[in-house]
Structure 1
Amino acid sequence: MKMHQLTLTTFKMKQFGVIYLLSALYLNVVFGEKNCDDLGLNFYRSIGCKESGKENGCPSYDGCQYSQPIGHCTYQGQKIDKGQAVKDVVKDSSCSFGCICTAADGEKGSFLCAQGHCGIDESILFGKSPNCFLRYSLDQCCPNSEPECAEESPATCKVGNEEFKEGKLFSPKDKCITCLCTKDFDGKLDGPNCQPTPCDVEVRHSQDIEKNCAPLYFINSKKSEALCCPVTFVCPSKIDVIKENDTKSTDRVCKYGLKTLKLGSTIETENDSYGKRKVHCECVSPPLMTCTMSY
């Protein structure tokens, strides 16, 4: 009897251990300990790439083939006809003004954008009631031109240790998500108040993307942080120092110009778009290299 009880107890402990391990792995992915946004995946979503699978709990986009078509344009995977404005087709809060698709006969489409800005700032609230605020929306860059005022104080939205005022667009720390603070915000980042952070890199860098140049992100430190929208692109040059990964057995590769580099390969180079700065690139999330430089 005692031996039977001991065997049963040992079995239950092993069973509990397996359940605990599976639960821990599940919670690790679902509740954010694994931050997929530090891989630069938001960029692939923003140019209309479709998921090709999963890799360590994160989406993969290995099969993404980007090209502007003959005779019209695409933006976030949506077709834009010649002469059509981007914002007539895709609504988001990115701030490229008056962008239209231009396409000469028999040539690939490209975007032409106007120079502009909102022309509105918080100074218009000076002297007004503290209960007045400017209201933004998830599908526009600029807030309403006239402030909203109420008898009671505006609502606030709290996410983690951060607090935001009603009407404001905000991005939770280390997440490629843009949210709008409203009275009914329930704190859920996958609800109607939030959307993936829109990137408008296609209107300025469609040719760079098509040439397999690498998206370049600013970072504050070498620690893991969200890589949401590239500030520019790194294209192959003579000063690139490429270190190919010859030790790791993998079928996953990144394109860099005409080169194909295995997962884990790196490039050290420079970029002078914001003053000459050192740039580190690595094949971490195919199909393109991912590059970073410090502020």
Structure 2
Amino acid sequence: MKFLLCIFLVTLGLAFAFASGKDRCPTDFTIGYFYREIGCKPVYEEASNCPSHFDCSNYRKIHVIPTDSGRTTNVCTYKGTSYEIGTELSSSKVNPCVANCRCVEDYRTGHGVFTCASVECFDWHLEDENCTRLYNEESCCSVKTHCKGDEPLPTCLVDGKVYLQGQKFYPNDEPCKECYCQEGFEGKFEEPFCKNVACNVELHYASRIRDNCVPVYYGRQGCCPIDWKCPKPGKDQVVPNLGKSPKTTTATCKFGDLEFQQHDELNTTEPDLSCKCLTPPYLTCTSQPQV
């Protein structure tokens, strides 16, 4: 629960930070961000610059295992590689804020899942307003402190604010990017200065993915899930689009035993939750608390 709350606060902050005049694809955020993290391939139709759907066939072969398939489920998978029970992931393969990831057997299902520790940083607010914590991309926590009067450092100007070399920032135009001010930065939010925010869905939510659940995001510009929506056989229903919105793809979304045409919706009892088939093959679920 604490982990979900943390992700919610980060995602909420990123969502409010988004203020860009650039043309954007709906798949730059929410379910599209999820697709890219798990390795699905974008598919384009009708000369559009935005994907109409994603090809997740290889990913689903690994993660979504039918109960009568005869395939083993007591392994863990991460970025297309299978790991036996007891195997520990190399720290070089994961985000520095995640540590000691080990493949274990879920006692409830017998499936392989990763258990990971979250790195705790004691980066409290500095009492001296003239001091700033500095970071680098290889460490989760601050690595040093720079104070007024110390040797001057190179700076970066981003969104009208000046950052010292080693300071983190999240660009308004790229809210799903985590950046570090470094010497040589010229305003382009790309490596080695910036990287995608790591949601680590395969590490933290393998069982949800295997159960055909879909991620839920805060608003339309979220990066990491704040919750998951799982199938409820016998209760879930398709709400047809009935031509209200034109389709751009014949690809469909799957949720449990149900199949959705593009723009069809899932009936939900939660007033703040919307689940639609916007960019197959997964439903796009967003939560917007009522004001």
TM-score > 0.5 by shorter chain:
yes
Which residue of 1 is the match for residue 273 of structure 2? 279
CA distance, structure 2, for counterparts of residue 270 and residue 78 of structure 1: 38
Given candidates 37, 41, 52, the residue that maps to 1:51 is 41
Question: Pairwise mapping of residues 50-129 of structure 1 onto structure 2 (< 5 A)?
Answer: 50-55=40-45, 56-59=48-51, 60-64=53-57, 65-66=59-60, 67-68=62-63, 70-86=73-89, 88-93=91-96, 95-103=97-105, 108-114=111-117, 117-123=120-126, 126-127=127-128
CA distance in 1, matches of 2:286, 2:269: 10
Map 1:154-193 to 2 at 5 A: 154-161=153-160, 163-173=162-172, 175=174, 176-193=176-193
Tell me which residue corresponds to 1:23.
none
**Unpaired segments of 5 or more residues in structure 1?**
1-30, 220-224, 272-276
Shift of 1:89: 4.5
Counterpart contact for 1:92–1:138, Cα < 8 Å = no
Going from structure 1 to structure 2, the CA distance change for 1:119 and 1:63 (only over 3 Å counts) comes to: same
Question: What is the alpha-carbon distance in structure 2 between the residues aligned to residue 88 and residue 78 of structure 1?
Answer: 15
Distance 2:222 2:215 in 1: 10
CA RMSD between the two structures: 3.3
What one-letter code is carried by the residue in structure 2 that aligns with 1:50? Answer: C
Q: Map Cα deviations across residues 30-53 of structure 1 (whole Å, 9 max, x no partner).
A: x94134414531111212x23142
Quote the residue 1:259 is aligned against.
258
Are the counterparts in 2 of residues 218 and 231 from structure 1 also a CA contact under 8 Å?
Answer: yes
Tell whether 2:39 aligns with 1:40. Answer: no
The alpha carbon displacement at 1:80 in A equals 4.3
Q: Which amino acid aligns with 2:50?
A: C
Paired residues, what number? 248
Contact 1:71 1:103 survives alignment (8 Å): yes
Structure with bigger RCO (C-alpha 8 Å, 6+ apart)? 2
CA shift for structure 1 position 103: 4.2
SS of residue in 2 equivalent to 1:40: helix
Distance 2:238 2:163 in 1: 44
The aligned counterpart of 1:147 is 145
Contact 2:165 2:183 (C-alpha < 8 Å) held by counterparts: yes
Q: Tell me if the contact between 1:42 and 1:196 (Cα under 8 Å) persists in the aligned partners.
A: no
After TM superposition, the score normalised by the length of structure 2 is: 0.71
Tell me which amino acid in the other structure corresponds to 2:122.
G
Equivalence for 2:18: none
Residue 240 (structure 2) pairs with residue 244 (structure 1) = yes
Equivalent of 2:225 in 219, 225, 230: 230
- The aligned counterpart of 1:25 is none
Instruction: Go from structure 1 to structure 2 and tell me whether the alpha carbon gap of 1:108 and 1:262 turns closer, same or farther (over 3 Å shift).
Output: same
- Give the TM-score normalised by structure 1: 0.70
- Contact 2:253 2:259 (8 Å CA) reproduced: yes
SS state of the match for residue 101, structure 1? strand
